[in-house]
Amino acid sequence: MASEDKFESVLSTRYCKNSPLVSILSETNKATLWRQLWIWLAEAEKELGLKQVTQEAIDEMKAQKNNFDWPFIRAEERKLKHDVMAHNHAFGKICPTAAGIIHLGATSCFVQDNADLIAYRDSIDHLLKRFATVIDRLATFSLQNKEVVTVGRTHYQTASLVTVGKRGVLWAQELLMAFQSLAEFRDKMRFRGIKGATGTQDSFLTLFNGDEEKVEALDELVTAKAQFSRRFLITGQTYSRQQDSQLVFSLSLLGAAAKKVCTDIRILQAFGELLEPFEKDQIGSSAMPYKKNPMKSERCCSLARKLINAPQEALTILADQGLERTLDDSAGRRMLIPDVLLTGEALLTTLQNIFEGLTVQTENVKKIVDDEIAFLGLEKAMMMLTEEGVDRQQAHAVIRKTALEAKQLQATQKVDIRQTMADPFFDSVRDRVVGLVNNPINFTGRCVSQTENFIEKELKPTIAKYLDHAAGNVQLDV
């Protein structure tokens, strides 16, 4: 059946079809990891002196690790209603020497949970590299525009001037904090290891004739073979689903930060200040051919919504996990965690494309600044007047009256700063204010140095470990 004739996830077929995550989270990779875990378990058991595990059996498993008879596996699962045992039988069928020691001492969660953790770790490693590239692209945009003066906005109304670059690092800081959350989760991830059916390790204690040191060593060995530095010391049948919740929450922070950034971009594009990349043959509207809609930022907001809402399900999965283990978690985790990882990838890929092509509509930005600069000059006038001994409250009252009168005129004419400050009250500061107004960068405070300092002192050191300087630009298929 052609793929167009059946439902498939839009994450894997539309937004992430070229991503390595599609392979990392695939059934084939999961089954391969299960077999690798059985090999690591057998190797560790042999290294610790378990005589029934032979090198011949281990070599046989290694040779057949990638040999999958999927029709047989599917038939076995239909019959047994147990995916791990279906794969166990399939592996044993092609490894007759090893068949008796595959999965020795283990329970299903040995392969299920540990393989999931390896796939999650590998997915996070990719996401962190992508995330670092996204932040780096935004830093480049910010530095390029660190001196481009624009109107600040509070309550969505015009406010004191900022620079486009300073606004860019505000966005970068939000994304960097989400990046740090995901990186910290990666560093603290714990492996389940070998724990047995209810977490007591009793089956392994039996295999090693009650030798607790060997059981502990077995847990450490398998953890090391899987290249984890940390492991759960205690579990039930499964590792704590709180760890899954922490992963989902880290990705939800990415969603929230990205939604804030892309909502800002959408608003600023509506004001005519920014323009997200719009490709040569791209169509903005089927009905209105002249439109350039911010569809990439809109897509990011839509994807972000999925991530923002995901922690509720993760917390429910944690809360519903009864005693040493119930199966309430299984179906939900199979869908939720791959979906949030892929959604994170789709979001980051689109963000990277936006930042690589985001442009400032400089003429329109300048026009908006020119329309507002007189009012900002009045703000400066208040500071200057108080320096000369004028009562601050008196200065505020006069400037408020002057500004409101000028605002009424603004709808029909350009506000001139000299005309606005015609009142003799401003005689002592008028020329100084006019001089400042002629160069709007004077109204942006430390925007330039703040932009530079943040990027050099915080942003670059934080992402350096993960940044691939050779990473190319993103071209979106859709």
Which residues are part of the catalytic machinery?
A: 155, 285
In the beta sheet, which residues pair with residue 462? none
How many Å apart are CA 113 and CA 204, to the nearest integer? 18
CA–CA dist 98, 117 (Å, integer) = 25
Of 134, 117, 125, 107, give the one whose Cα is nearest residue 195: 107
Closest CA to 194 of 214, 222, 213: 222
Q: Are 420 and 374 in contact (CB under 8 A)?
A: yes
Strands 149-154 and 157-163: antiparallel
Q: Are 317 and 308 in contact (CB under 8 A)?
A: no
**Backbone CA torsion sign across 288, 294, 298, 299:** positive
Residue 22 in tokens: 């599609």
Residue 286 gets which letter from DSSP?
S
395 CB-contact burial (10 Å; exposed 0-12 / middle 13-18 / buried 19+): buried
DSSP string, 216-282: HHHHHHHHHHTT-S-B-S--SSS--THHHHHHHHHHHHHHHHHHHHHHHHHHHHHTTSEE----TT-
Question: Rounded CA gap, 160 and 55, in Å?
Answer: 74
Tell me whether strands 274-275 and 157-163 are parallel, antiparallel or unpaired: unpaired
Q: Whose CA is closest to 443, among 390, 382, 379, 386?
A: 379
Residue where the block lists tokens 């020119």: 370
Instruction: Please say whether the beta carbons of 334 and 296 come within 8 A.
Output: no
**Which residues on adjacent β-strands are paired with residue 237?**
none
Nearest to 36 by CA among 18, 14, 58: 58
Closest by Cα among 384, 386, 369, 354 to 444: 369
